[in-house]
Structures are given as C-alpha cells and as structure tokens.
Amino acid sequence: MRGTDLNTIERPYDGCGKCLLGVRRLSRVKLATSSPERQRENVLTAAAAVGAHIIGWADDWEVSGATDPVTRPSLGPWLRDERGPYDGLVAAAVDRLGRYVVDCLNTGYKMRDEKKVLVTYGHDGAWNLDDPADENRFTMEAWGAQMELRAIQRRNRDATVKTRAAGRPKGKPSYGFQYVRKVMGGRIEQVELHPHASEVLRNIARRILADPESVTCSSEAARLNRAGELSPADHLAVMYGKPAGGRPWSPQSLKNILLSEATLGYLMHRNKPVLGREDGHPVRLCEGLWDRATHEALRSAILGLQHGWVTPDLAC
C-alpha cells in the first residue's frame, strides 16, 4: 500500500474487525538467515493492503511445517481460543500456516466458519473460501507446500542413509556428547564427550548404582530441576547459541538417556546401534560414558531386575 508506514500498523486489539495476528514459522533458524525479517515485512505489507493492523505475533521458530498448527507453541493457543480475541490471521505465505493440505484447509475453514479474516502475502485481498476459485487456489498452494515437504523429507532420508553408511552421525548429538566441526555449520569432524553433560550423567549413574532402591530416575530428575541443571533440550539450545526455554528434566527422558546404548559411544539409528558392514559390530563414534558392564548394571538397577553386580568405577 503506497505511502503506508508499516511500523504504524502494529497496535493493540481495538475491536475494529481487522485486528489480525501475524503468523511466522521457520523450521531451522540459522545466524545467516534473513527469513524472519522477510516474513515480518511481507506480513505487514499484506495486512496494510487489506486495511488491517497487527495485534501480535505467533512466531514458531524451530518448528517443522509438518506440525499441526493447532499444536504449535505460539499459533496453537490462538487457534484454541486461549489467547483472547482476534479477527483473523495474516501470514507471509500459505506454507507458513502449514505444510500439509489438511492442516492448511482446517485452519482456513476455521477462519471462514468463525467469520475471521485470512490473509497471505501475494494473494490479492483476503481469502474467500466460499468462492470456488479462491478455494481451489488456496488448496493448490497448500498442495504445493505439501509436495515441497515431501521432497525435503526424501532428501533428508537419502542424506541420512548415506551418512549412516559412511559411519558418520547426523542430527542432534545425544546428551553427554558434542560434535566437533572445523567451521560453524560444516561437516562433523568427530564426536567427543561434553565435559559438563557427560559428568552430569556419570554422577547420576553413580548415585543410582550406589542406592538403586532410593535413587530413581524420578528423584534424580527432581534433584536436577532443583539444582537448576539445564535439561537436555535446553542444554542443546544453549550449546548452539540459542536461549534456554526453561524446559524441565522429566523422569522418562532421563530414563531413556540412561538406558540408551548411545551412552556407549555408538552410532544410533531408531534407538539401535548401527552395525558395521564388514564386521557386524556396533559402529563406535567415540569413547562411551561407561563400559558395557556398567550399562548392564545400570539397566538392571533402573528396570528393577534382580541381578547382582559390582559397582563399577565411572571416574575414568
């Protein structure tokens, strides 16, 4: 809209009928990306074009497009009517609403049925899903988003297979470990124990093995939360330069970590060690947090199995 100052169309809800929520989403946020700023400018431009203003932002960063909009951390509460009144949504593109046709249509029809406005950048005016032409175009844009998601997933699967076959890790490091790269965002050169997180797990193992009847995953998760120890999710976020989200330790996630053979330093796929093609043995990425005997003893203690063991030395 010519002559409109985009910085003036952000203001509180006033019941004018065009108080829209700005929707932004990005699967991966990197230091070099300008997508959040581009999405913001596009959203503001689209809102101004229909004479609306922005009352707030539903920013879902590090959220896959495959996530149901109703369950997204920022957008979900608005769609569930938990965040107060709003007159509709405005996004930079249909694929920012979702990457599945059904999710996009569910959100679009919700706006239509509730007499709310739905606007995306690049579309002339608000979407009218009662109009067959508009409905078809909206559906086709959602279909394009879904096909793009399928292509991304296929490329990721192919890359995972190739990387795993080469005996290299892909994805996020297990808690207690860290990736070493020569350049930020570059290829993973090697895997090492994380100095702090590895000791957190070793200390937990010592405590459980010393008194398995009193020390449990539940009591340890509570102890770590009281001590302010970063949960695995927050630890990973901070390790990659992002703010901690205040997510707590949970007994089940701690149990899963301790029981996983990833603690032995193995390359994992679908919770199982990857076996070498030549010798059939688990592929080892680096030294483990403990040895096999300790792993079995810890498994017995956590699962309440009636086996005897000698408490191992975890200091090494």
pLDDT band (50, 70, 90) for residue 161: low
Mean pLDDT of 165-173: 66
pLDDT band (50, 70, 90) for residue 25: very high
Q: Determine contact, residues 235/261, Cβ cutoff 8 Å.
A: no
> What count of residues does the chain have?
316
Segments of 188-315 assigned E as strands:
188-193, 268-269, 272-273
Mean pLDDT of 9-29: 91
pLDDT tens digit string along 257-268?
999 999 999 988
pLDDT surpasses 50 at 308: no
pLDDT tens digit string along 189-211?
889 999 999 999 999 999 999 99
Mean pLDDT of 157-178: 71
Q: Which residue has the tokens 């100052």?
A: 5
Q: What percent of the chain has pLDDT over 70?
A: 86
**3 state DSSP class of 56:** strand
Number of C-beta neighbours around residue 247 at 10 A: 14
CA distances from 130 to 56, 105, 110, 230, 301 (A): 27, 12, 12, 49, 61
